[in-house]
Chain A
Amino acid sequence: MLIELTGESALDTYKVLFEGAFIGKNNLSETLIKSSILLLTGLSYAFVAKVGLINIGAEGQLYIGAACSAAVGIYGTFLPGALHLIAALLAGFVGGMIWGGIVGFFKERFGANEIITSLMMNYIAILVVSYLVHEPMKDMSQTYPYSYRVATSAQLPRILTGTRLHAGLFVALLCLFFYWIYYRYTSSGYRMRVIGQNRLNAEYAGYNVRKNMFAAMAIGGGFAGLGGALEILGVQFRLFDNFSSGYGFDGIFAAILANLHPLGMILTSVVFGGLRNGGLMIQVKTNVSSTLTSVVQSLVIILVLMRIFDRLPIWGKKHSNQSLRKRSSD
C-alpha cells in the first residue's frame, strides 16, 4: 500500500542512493576513498578486540595520526621523492600508535578502563588538533584556520584519472592483509587470540597478558592513525578543525557487523562508505532531508542486527547459530 501510494518517489530515492554509492567511476571512487578509511579505523577496533579489549578511540587516534602525517608532509620537504610520502604515512601510523599506546599503557600499568580512557582521548585529540591549526601550524595566507598544504611529494598518487581515488586504498588493503596473516598464521597472533578468548588460560600458559594488550592497543591505534594519514595525504591535503566527522565510529560499526572477519570487513566497509556517499547524493539530488537519511541508516543497522532474515526461514536454529558464529569469528 505504502509503496503504491508513494512508489515513484520512493523508488527514485532508492535509485539515487544506490547510484550515488556504486554507479559511475566518480561515485564508486568516492565510496572507495571513504571505505579505505573505514577499513583502517575498523581494523583498529578489530585488532584490539581480538585480545579482548574494546577500543573506541579510533577517532582520536585518527586525528593524531593525521596531525603527525600532516606535520611530516608539510615540513619534511627535505626528504627525497617517494621517501617523503612513506615518511608521512609512517608518521601517521606512529602518531596513532602513540595515542593508542597511551590507552594501552594506562590499561597495562594501572588497569584503567580502556573504554573510558580511549573515549576521553578522542576529545583530547580533537582539541590538540584544534590548537595546532589555530597556532603553530596555521597557514597565515588563509582566513580559515587551516594548516599549510601538504607538499606534493607527500601526496598520495591518484590511481584513477578524473577521480580522487588514491593509492591509500592499497595501503588499507595491505593492512587488512597483515591483520589476516597475523592472527591466522603467526604465533604471536595466536597468543593474542588466546588472551582474548580466555585471559586466565593465557596466564596459566605463561603468556604476558598485559604486554600483549599494550602491544595490541598500540598497533590498533597505528591503523587508525594511518586512516588519518590517508585522509590528509589523499583527500584534504590540509589539517583543520573537525575534519573527520565520525570515521572512527563508523569503522567500529563496520568491524563489528563483519564479526571482525577480514573479508567481511571489506564488504561492510564498502557498504558503509556507500551509505555515506549515497546518503550524500540523496541530499544533493532529491529533497529528502538529511535527518531522514540518518534515521533510515540507523534503522537499517538495527534491523540488520536483529538478523530478521536469519530468523525467518529457520526459527528454532537461532541459538545454535549464534553461539556457532561467536566461536567461528574468534
Chain B
Amino acid sequence: MKTKINITIIALLALILTIVPLAGCNNNASEPDETTTVVTETDAPEPTSDLIGEGLKAAMLLPGPISDIGYNGPAYEGLLRIESELAYEISYAESVDPADYENVLRTYAQEGYNLIFAHGNQFLETVTIVAEEFPDTWFAVTSAFTTNEKNISGMNLSSHDVGFLSGALMAQMPDVDKIGMVSGAEIPPLVMIYDGLRAGAAYINPEVEIANVYTDARADMAACKEAAVALLDSGSDILSTTAGTGAPGVISAAADAGKYFVGNSSDWSSVDPETVLNSVITDWGSAVVNTATLYAKGELQPIPYMNGIVEGAVYFLEYGEHALEVIPEEVLSRMDTIIEDIKAGKIIIADEVAALPEE
C-alpha cells in the first residue's frame, strides 16, 4: 500500500516536471501578442512620454480576474500603461485568495518591488501589517480612506460620485417613479455607488422609489437578467447595475421591456445603443498611472488621494446619438448645471449621501 502511494506521488512530481515546459512554451508564444496590442494602443496618443519609471518595479494584487469589466480590468490596464508609458517593470497576481494576501505582499516586497498596488479596501489591514516590515516599499491601496501616514497611499475613486451622476440622470427621465438597481455584491464600493444613486435621485426628486436586488456569486449575465426582470415586474421604470460583467443581462432585460439603462464603470453603449442612455466612467487606469507618476517623481504622499467628479476621474461619456434623441433637452442642460455645481463646490455629494434616510 505504502509503495503504491509513493508511486503516485513520484508520478505527480514527475508530471509537473514534464508539463510545466508546456506552460512556459505557451507563455512565450502569447507574450508578444500582449505587448503588441499594448504598443499599438499607447503609440498614438503619447509617442514621446518620458520614461521616468526606468529601473523601478511595480506590482499589483487584484481580488478578481484581470478580464472583468469595470474594476480589476481597468486597473490592470493601468498597470500595463505604466509599463509602456513610464517604463516600470511590472508583475501582477490576480484573484488572490484572502489567505494569501500577506504572503503575496511580503513576497513582492522581498523581491524588491518599489511600488505595490493593492486593488481593494479588503487588502488594507494586511498591507498595514506588511508595510511596517518594509519601510522602503511604497503601497497604494484602493479605497483606503485612512493610511499609516508613512508608506501607504490611498487610491480612491469616489463611488458616491458615480452613483450620484447616474441617479440624477435616471430620476429626471420622463415617467420615472421607481429606479431598479441590480447590485453585484454587498461590498463597500458597490454599496457606495448605490447610496450615491439614492442621493442623486433624491436630489432631483425625493419621491422617487428605489428597489435593489443582490445577485449572488453567480453574478453573470443570465442571473442579472432574471434579477432585472424581477425589478421591472415590481414596477421599476429604469435600471442600473453594479454587477460588472452581468450588465449586458440587465441591459437586455431593459431592452425587452422598452425601458432605459444607465451604466457605470465602463462604456456599455456598444451592447445596445438604443437602451443605454449613458455610462459613468470610473477611470481606475488613470488613477494607477497618476499614482505611479507621482511615485517616480518622488512626490507621492502617504495620504488618501480622492479622485471624483471634481478631479475629472469620474465623468459621463458623450451622449450617444440615440440618447440625445430620447433625453429631453432640459434634462441635458440640468445635468450640465449639476456637474458644474459639483465642480464649483455648490453640491457636496458626501453631504447629500449623509442626508439620506436609513434604509
Contacts and interface: CB of A to CB of B under 8 A. Distances in A.
B98 interface: yes
B355 interface: no
A304 B27 contact: no
A296 B187 contact: no
Contacts of B100: 30, 280
B111 interface: yes
A144 B23 contact: no
Interface residues of A, number: 68
Size category of the B interface is 35 or more
B7 interface: yes
A235 B103 CA distance: 11
Task: Report whether over half of chain B's contact residues are helix, strand or loop; otherwise say mixed.
Answer: helix
A289 B2 CA distance: 36
Nearest to B25: A6
Contact of A287 (B21, B25, B31): B31
A13 interface: yes
A99 B233 CA distance: 36
A263 B22 CA distance: 31
Given A14-B21, A134-B186, A235-B99, A309 B14 contact: yes
Contact of B11 (A17, A18, A309, A325): A309
A308 B91 contact: no
A245 B28 CA distance: 29
Interface string A286-308: 11111011001001100110011
A235 to B, nearest CB: 5
A10 B23 contact: yes
Interface string A1-19: 0110111011111100110
Contacts of B26: 292
B143 interface: yes
Question: Looking at A258, A267, A271, A283, which has the most chain B CB atoms within 10 Å of its CB?
Answer: A283
A268 B122 CA distance: 31
A257 B9 CA distance: 9
B108 A284 contact: yes
B25 A271 contact: no
B5 to A, nearest CB: 4
A225 interface: no
B20 A263 contact: no
A208 interface: no
Interface string B213-256: 00011000000000000000000000000000000000000000
Contacts of B208: none
Residue in A6, A7, A328 with the greatest tally of chain B CB atoms within 10 Å: A6
Given A236-B99, A307-B11, A328-B1, A284 B23 contact: no
B145 interface: yes
A145 B91 contact: no
B21 A11 contact: yes
Nearest to A283: B93
B56 interface: no
A299 B23 CA distance: 11
Given A10-B22, A296-B19, A303-B15, 6 more contacts: A6-B25, A144-B122, A241-B187, A257-B8, A299-B19, A308-B11
Interface of B: 1-2, 4-17, 19-28, 31, 59, 91-100, 102-104, 106-108, 111, 121-122, 124-125, 143, 145, 185-188, 216-217
6 contacts: A2-B22, A6-B28, A240-B122, A277-B103, A283-B94, A284-B108
Interface of A: 2-3, 5-7, 9-14, 17-18, 26, 30, 33-34, 126-127, 130, 134, 142-145, 164, 231, 235-236, 240-243, 245, 257-259, 261, 263-264, 267-268, 271, 277, 280-281, 283-290, 292-293, 296, 299-300, 303-304, 307-310, 325, 328-329
Closest 3 CB pairs of A and B: A10-B24, A10-B21, A264-B5
